[in-house]
Amino acid sequence: MEKISFTLNETGEEVLFYVLEETRLNGTDYILVTDSQEDDGEALILKDLSSDGDSEALYEIVDDDRELESVMEIFEQLLEDVDITLE
């Protein structure tokens, strides 16, 4: 798994995540990340808000229920052979 670091805007704290999968839906990029390589890690779906010319990506957690359900369905299909539960 690829490991990436994020800097939280509110605190400037650096957080590490492992990328499980990525996809594109309606022109927007999404990544599924987890905070641990172990089975008990927390998974999040992040949406890329950056522009094409940006030197660094800008992500936010997907919290809109309709958008989250749509993207979760895609990730579940992509990861059907992997034992991951998205809630």
What is the per-residue pLDDT for 85? Answer: 54
Q: Give CA–CA dist 77/49, Å, rounded.
A: 24
Give pLDDT tens digits along the chain (87 positions).
788 888 887 888 998 999 999 999 999 999 999 988 887 788 899 999 998 888 888 899 999 999 999 999 999 888 886 655 555
- Kindly report the pTM of this predicted structure: 0.81
* Spatial CA neighbour of 62 closest among 37, 38, 86, 36: 86
Q: What is the DSSP letter of 9?
A: T
